[in-house]
Amino acid sequence: MARGAFTRVVDDAAGEFGVPAPILLALGWEASHWNPDVASRWGGYGIFDLREGEQDPSLEHAGALLETDPNAIIVDWRLQVRGAAAILADQARLANGGELPPTDELLSWWDAVRAFSGREEPVLQDQYAHYVFELIAAGVSADTQWGTVSLEPSPVDLGGRDVTPPPTSCDSSLAYQYYAACTDNYSDYSRGSGDIDMVVIHTAEGSYSGTYAWFANCSAEASAHYVVRSSDGQITQMVKEADVAWHAGNWDYNLRSVGIEHEGYTTDCSYYTDAMYAASAALTADIASRQGVSLDRSHIIGHDEVPDPDGSGWGGSGHHTDPGSCWDWDYYMDLLNGTTSTSGGEIIGAVRDSDIYNGANLVGASVWIAETGSTTTVASDGYYRFEDVPFSTYTMHATYPGYAEGTCTKTTSSSQDWCSIALFPDTSGGDNGGSTDTGGGTETGVPTDTAPNVDDTALPGDVPVQPGNLVMSGEAGAGCGCAVADPAAAGWAVGAALLALARRRRA
């Protein structure tokens, strides 16, 4: 498939229906990380989590607007993009007296994005819209089946649009908010620490906001105690730990456990960021310190390790396979036992002539990080490396004799983040002084085949590039009065939870 096909289809659909392309890209990333081949647990399909029924983003609504069979949309990613654009435009007209807002005034599309969310509760609509516009402000880049796809950062002023979570206290001080699951989806109990001896790890098979909206839907007949977001580890509590969530597919295991759902799909490793691992591990350690759970693999288990109550297999009654092969159990248990640092990682990339995929390696090119002043050169293998770089946003600059300077920008969140640069011959007559071109915008990363649990025979392009950390503005003091709003505070929260566990072990 030609590289750039997805971006071209998005741009064409945006022009056809008069909607902003950055919003379409952000909607697709929020729903699926631009994956056309997934199905969410609540019945959504493809890139935009289009679902059956009247509630948007609706397959039927998209089909009517495109005059196309909804079943055709499920299997054609191009129709998914056009259908999402058509729904967004239709909702924008409904919210703006029949007129489309200007495409260059992104926040004028706020109400249309709220309506696109499919959420019924106003606070969930606002939280969804807020996160979509945060993605637009921060930018995202990832390796996909179409090559590297980038949502370039766009200036968005979210001042005055902070979302206040429901003012209900949480069991864990690490939770951003408590948003209650429907009472039809869990059992009201009065469990104490002697009743809980296990934590069950899940992958949600869907987006963060979609997961907690689903558990709040009384038709779900399922719930978990907590949901963790991929990009920054934000945590929503949905069921009190004293109550029994319906998550394991085995009543005996439900009775004795706390369930934690993680945003994402078992088949897509891009969701399993260090930020999510760190937040989840801190939450599990906090639960363990309060409930007396042993931090070993007999008591911290995956959904796929829950026996079917009829003895026919594993994964509970539904034979679930989550958290799946992308979940790095060794790394997670190292975090729980305090043997792994989460403060930073490696930045690595190629510097190549005119094309980061097919261009010649520019061995010896100089590379430096603007924010830290650290410098290095491209080694004989074609790559530059910066080790132990604290998680943050960085701009890498590269120069090579006879070429114009190039840059790439990356928000780091993983043990290894890629940021590759294409340099173009300098036609200005100077030496490295001409225009800057990154060969693809804000993160033109060359994928790696060293991600956890990835087959090391995978070809370049098979392994997704992970997104950077995103932190919602106004999180400090919100929700449960205990939210963490900055990376330094997040590190303190992880350390505090693990320290509390160590104290319990010594007691």
pLDDT of residue 441: 33
Residue 493: which CATH number?
Answer: 3.40.80.10
Clarify whether residues 132 and 192 are in a common domain: no
* Residue 310 to residue 250: CA distance in whole angstroms: 9
Residue 285 lies in a domain: yes
The verdict on 261 and 290 lying in the same domain is yes
Kindly give the parts of the chain with pLDDT less than 50: 1-3, 430-479, 481-507
How high is the pLDDT of residue 163? 78
Q: Does the residue 172 lie in any domain? A: no
Tokens 């498939």: give the residue: 1
Q: Is residue 400 part of a domain?
A: yes
Q: What CATH code is carried by the domain that includes residue 29?
A: 1.10.530.10
User: pLDDT value at position 391?
Assistant: 79
With tokens 């930020």, the residue in question is: 275
Residue 93 zone, left/alpha/beta (φ > 0; ψ -120 to 50; rest): alpha
Does any domain span residue 86? yes
Q: Is 310 found in the same domain as 198?
A: yes
Does some domain include residue 81? yes
Would 333 be classed as within a structural domain?
no
Tokens of 110: 């706020």
pLDDT of 339: 60
Q: For the packed helices 21-32 and 5-17, what is the interaxial angle rounded to 10 degrees?
A: 120
Residue 335 resides in a domain: no
Query: Same domain for 196 and 280?
Result: yes
Report whether 226 contacts 238 (CB < 8 A).
yes
207 and 316 co-located in one domain: yes
Q: Are residues 236 and 260 in the same domain?
A: yes
308, 360: one domain: no
Q: What's the sign of the alpha-carbon dihedral 377, 381, 382, 383?
A: negative
At 295, which helix (H) or strand (E)? Answer: none
**What predicted TM-score, i.e. pTM, was given to this entire model?**
0.70
pLDDT of residue 466: 28
Last residue of a domain, one of 141, 165, 190: 141
Q: Are 359 and 294 part of one and the same domain?
A: no
* Judgement on whether residues 307 and 413 belong to the same structural domain of the protein: no
> Which structural domain range is residue 378 located in?
340-451
pLDDT digits (tens, 9 = 90+) for 439-469: 333 333 333 333 322 222 222 233 232 222 2
Do residues 288 and 395 share a domain?
no
Q: Which of 114, 141, 168 is the last residue of a domain?
A: 141
* 350 and 410, same domain (yes or no): yes
* Residues 224 and 316 placed together within one structural domain of the fold: yes
Q: Report how far residue 57's alpha carbon sits from residue 42's, in angstroms, rounded to the nearest whole number.
A: 13
Residue 133 lies in a domain: yes
Number of compact structural domains in the chain: 3
Q: Taking a C-beta distance cutoff of 8 angstroms, is the pair 472, 229 a contact?
A: no
Beta strands in 8-84 (DSSP E): 44-45, 50-51
Rg (CA), the chain: 23
